């Protein structure tokens, strides 16, 4: 054996290249063996399982969020009419293959009771309406869907559906989430929704071909969707309708989808249903969408879909299509250097980035910043890179306070927000990014009390300093901007010295959210403010309220509670 080793040693000394080649092949083979042992199979996805079932209308984008862990293999076949284990996978663990038996999951009654206790916590953002039958060929909820076989929770499903403007969220098979505008199936027994959520064992996430469905109470009317369209409301037919909505089509078999698809094909952002006539156009001064009517006035059933309303010849049911209104999308730097520096001043978390987005769309000019934020630049705020004194931007974002910094500006828009909301928004930004959320550990740890102690006084002094040292300050309350965007944006654009084009402002209303909007549904399940914090913040609110009134301005809005 020793002689053999000596021969090998002498051979590789004479030909070292062969030695290193052999060593490389050995290491590569070892790596392949290691990788192969780590996974038991490769997932396969068939095209037919992504497409909608028969009669479900146009195909919707697939939003799968599939987190695969070791122990999943590709499903070779699935019996016709049988229930798949997740999207196209079957387990290789020791769990029984047959999931339909109640015995596999313990007591169905105890699981339902646990689910109900969890649902009570969800009441402020969603209302549980029951267990419903689902069919893989014709879905009960026909909007978008996504799956997570490791971390699915009731809250996560509700959050995703609400963020996309749907009215209903349904959970199935412990890990699947479906969204929709209406429930198109019959009730099932509560005991049939008996599967625990994969990421929340204390709650129920449907069952085998059974959906636990919630109505999303916080979904805004303006965000309601039908497929890819956003519901805007019921409106009286405008005068000169052929000018206000110039394209029309008679549809004897009318449905929302058909009218929306027609206007999308014609590249119009508004789709208006008037009985058996579909009309398309833009929001203009002839049809502003500002005076909504009671939806019951539009509640005439569609000829082609009995569960939908299609408006009447007098009252139009209006939807916003996915076609982008490009009348307010062009932006550029100022053609000549600005002679005055205008500040867009706010406390952090008061909606400054959102206000910048609105101003850029309304004026067509980039906004600048006292700072530099690469993530904002990458999202389209091209003025972020310019020095704040460059004079190429229409206004300058700043959170600064103090006499020297404030007196650097010739005028200012001062954006004020409810401190309770502003503090939480800034805390989320600090620990979760511009559209992310702070972890529960941060809220429960020492970070939150320290943050409130340091930032709450700044909320008050920021406003007081700008009122005292600012030149030509226009006060805008965040809540008023949300409630009446058109009027408040007119005021802001006026201070900037730009002639406000009404059609452009109407265009902004349709594009108002931008890329920096947190989900309105996702929020803490408890109040993070202690009585001591509330007492302190209430004092600051009263101080700011008094200061505003001394400037002959309206005080803080009524929803700054407690006062």
Which residue from 502, 425, 416, 430 is spatially nearest to 463, judged by alpha carbons?
Answer: 416
Residues 321-344: tens digit of each pLDDT? 988 888 888 899 999 999 899 999
Statement to judge: residues 394 and 506 lie in one domain:
yes
Domain region containing 272: 225-320
The answer to whether the Cα torsion of 402, 403, 405, 410 is positive or negative is positive
Statement to judge: residues 446 and 373 lie in one domain:
yes
Statement to judge: residues 400 and 490 lie in one domain:
yes
Q: Is residue 532 scored above 80 in pLDDT?
A: yes
Residue with the bigger pLDDT between 277 and 77: it is 277
Q: Is residue 523 scored above 70 in pLDDT?
A: no
Residues 401-423: tens digit of each pLDDT? 989 999 999 999 999 999 999 99
Q: Is residue 540 scored above 60 in pLDDT?
A: yes
Statement to judge: residues 402 and 536 lie in one domain:
yes
Q: Is residue 93 scored above 70 in pLDDT?
A: no
Examine the fold and report which residue of 149, 184, 216 is the final residue of a domain before the chain moves on.
Answer: 216
Statement to judge: residues 211 and 242 lie in one domain:
no
Statement to judge: residues 150 and 289 lie in one domain:
no
Q: Is 316 helix (H, G, I), strand (E, B) or coil?
A: strand
- Residue 165's pLDDT band, with cuts at 50, 70 and 90, is low
Residues 223-262: tens digit of each pLDDT? 555 666 888 889 999 998 999 999 999 999 999 989 999 9
Sequential DSSP letters for 174-241? TTEEEEESS--S-B--GGG---EETTEEEEE--BTTEEEEEE-TT--GGG-EETTEEEEEEEEPPSSH
- Token pair, residue 297, equals 């006035």
Provide the CATH number for the domain around residue 357. Answer: 3.40.50.300
Distance CA 12, CA 21 (A): 11
Statement to judge: residues 302 and 433 lie in one domain:
no
Statement to judge: residues 426 and 505 lie in one domain:
yes
Write down the pLDDT at residue 38: 41
Q: Is residue 72 in a domain?
A: no
**Number of domains observed in the structure of the chain:** 3
Strands 473-477 and 411-416: what pairing? parallel
Statement to judge: residues 163 and 292 lie in one domain:
no
- The answer for residues whose C-beta is within 8 angstroms of residue 474's C-beta and 6 or more apart is 411, 412, 413, 414, 491, 492, 495
Statement to judge: residues 201 and 182 lie in one domain:
yes
Residues 308-324: tens digit of each pLDDT? 889 999 999 999 998 88
- The answer for residues whose C-beta is within 8 angstroms of residue 508's C-beta and 6 or more apart is 328, 358, 361, 362, 485, 489
Q: Are 68 and 149 in contact (CB under 8 A)?
A: yes
Q: Is residue 270 scored above 80 in pLDDT?
A: yes
What average pLDDT score do residues 55-62 get? 33
Q: Is residue 455 in a domain?
A: yes
Residue with the bigger pLDDT between 49 and 301: it is 301
Q: Is residue 52 in a domain?
A: no
Q: Is residue 372 in a domain?
A: yes
- Residue 101's pLDDT band, with cuts at 50, 70 and 90, is very low
Statement to judge: residues 144 and 236 lie in one domain:
no
**Residues composing the chain:** 563
Q: Is residue 2 scored above 70 in pLDDT?
A: no
Q: Is residue 521 in a domain?
A: yes
pTM above 0.75, yes or no: no
Statement to judge: residues 403 and 283 lie in one domain:
no
Q: What percent of the chain has pLDDT over 90?
A: 48
Which residue from 254, 209, 228 is spatially nearest to 164, judged by alpha carbons?
Answer: 228
Distance CA 554, CA 321 (A): 38
* Chain position carrying tokens 């009671």: 294
Q: Is residue 94 in a domain?
A: no
Write down the pLDDT at residue 30: 66
Q: Is residue 363 in a domain?
A: yes
What are φ and ψ of residue 87, in 5° steps?
A: -80, 90
Residue with the bigger pLDDT between 472 and 88: it is 472
What average pLDDT score do residues 84-91 get? 29
Q: Is residue 393 in a domain?
A: yes
């Amino acid at each position: 054996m020793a002689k053999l080793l000596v021969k090998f040693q002498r051979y590789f000394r004479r030909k070292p290249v062969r030695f290193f080649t052999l060593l490389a092949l050995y290491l590569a083979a070892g790596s392949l063996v290691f990788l192969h042992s780590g996974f038991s199979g490769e997932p396969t996805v068939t095209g037919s399982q992504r497409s909608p079932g028969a009669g479900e209308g146009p195909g919707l984008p697939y939003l799968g969020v599939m987190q695969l862990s070791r122990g999943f293999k590709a499903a070779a076949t699935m019996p016709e009419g049988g229930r798949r284990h997740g999207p196209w996978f079957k387990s290789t663990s020791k769990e029984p293959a047959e999931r339909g038996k109640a015995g596999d999951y313990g007591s169905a009654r105890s699981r339902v009771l646990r689910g109900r206790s969890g649902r009570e916590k969800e009441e402020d953002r969603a209302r549980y309406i029951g267990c419903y039958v689902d069919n893989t060929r014709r879905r009960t909820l026909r909007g978008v869907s996504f799956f997570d076989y490791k971390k699915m929770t009731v809250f996560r499903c509700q959050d995703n559906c609400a963020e996309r403007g749907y009215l209903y969220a349904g959970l199935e098979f412990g890990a699947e989430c479906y969204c929709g505008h209406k429930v198109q199936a019959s009730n099932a027994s509560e005991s049939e929704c008996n599967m625990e959520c994969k990421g929340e064992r204390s709650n129920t996430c449907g069952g085998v071909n059974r959906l636990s469905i919630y109505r999303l109470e916080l979904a805004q009317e303006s965000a309601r969707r039908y497929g890819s369209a956003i519901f805007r409301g019921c409106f009286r037919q405008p005068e000169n309708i052929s000018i206000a909505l110039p394209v029309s089509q008679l549809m004897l078999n009318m449905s929302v989808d058909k009218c929306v698809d027609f206007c999308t094909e014609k590249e119009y952002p508004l789709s208006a249903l008037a009985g058996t006539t579909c009309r398309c156009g833009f929001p203009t001064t002839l049809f502003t969408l500002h005076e909504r009517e009671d939806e019951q006035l539009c509640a005439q059933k569609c000829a082609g879909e009995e569960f939908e309303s299609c408006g009447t010849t007098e009252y139009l049911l209006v939807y916003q299509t996915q076609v982008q209104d490009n009348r307010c999308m062009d932006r550029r730097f100022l053609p000549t250097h600005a002679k005055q520096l205008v500040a867009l001043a706010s406390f952090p978390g008061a909606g400054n980035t959102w206000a910048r987005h609105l101003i850029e769309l309304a004026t067509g000019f980039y906004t600048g910043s006292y700072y530099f934020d690469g993530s904002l630049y990458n999202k389209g705020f091209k003025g972020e890179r310019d020095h704040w004194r460059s004079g190429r931007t229409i206004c300058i974002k700043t959170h600064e306070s103090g006499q020297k910094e404030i007196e650097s500006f010739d005028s200012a828009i001062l954006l004020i927000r409810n401190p309770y909301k502003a503090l939480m928004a800034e805390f989320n930004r600090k620990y979760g990014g511009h559209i992310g959320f702070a972890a529960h550990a941060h809220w429960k740890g020492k970070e939150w009390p320290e943050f409130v102690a340091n930032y709450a006084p700044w909320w008050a002094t920021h406003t007081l300093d700008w009122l005292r040292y600012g030149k030509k300050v226009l006060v805008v309350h965040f809540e008023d901007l949300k409630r009446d965007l058109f009027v408040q944006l007119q005021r802001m654009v006026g201070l900037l010295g730009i002639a406000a084009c009404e059609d452009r402002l109407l265009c902004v209303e349709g594009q108002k959210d931008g890329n920096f909007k947190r989900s309105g549904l996702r929020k803490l399940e408890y109040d993070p403010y202690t009585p001591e914090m509330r007492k302190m913040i209430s004092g600051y609110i009263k101080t700011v309220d008094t200061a505003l009134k001394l400037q002959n301005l309206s005080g803080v809005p009524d929803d700054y509670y407690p006062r």
